[in-house]
Amino acid sequence: MQHLDHEISRIIEMAWEDRTPFEAINQQFGLNEKSVIALMREQLTSSSFKLWRKRAAGRQTKHLKIRHPDISRGYCKTQYKHR
């Protein structure tokens, strides 16, 4: 599946977000976790990819099946500042 530059940028942004599960990326862009990892490996520098993998690996909020049931949104309410 071919993605446009702005879609790739959004996928990367979603992958970095702690509270955005891989399932949300799959639903919106059709990429499973393995595909997101491959895209991140391709698009990021080696050091950035390693930082992201360390951060995302095992993070409960990145997986709906192991996510705490009290977390019902894809982002932290303080993540986006409204003007």
pLDDT, tens digit (0-9, with 9 covering 90-100), for 66-80: 555 555 555 555 555
Please indicate, yes or no, if residue 72 is contained in any of the structural domains: no
Note the pLDDT tens digit of each residue in 10-48.
999 999 998 888 999 999 999 999 999 999 999 999 999
When divided into structural domains, the chain yields a total of 1
- The H or E element spanning position 47 is helix 46-56
- pTM score of the predicted model: 0.71
Please indicate, yes or no, if residue 49 is contained in any of the structural domains: yes
Please indicate, yes or no, if residue 76 is contained in any of the structural domains: no
Range of the domain at 44: 5-66
Please indicate, yes or no, if residue 47 is contained in any of the structural domains: yes
Please indicate, yes or no, if residue 23 is contained in any of the structural domains: yes
Name the nearest CA neighbour of 36 among 47, 48, 26: 26
Please indicate, yes or no, if residue 79 is contained in any of the structural domains: no
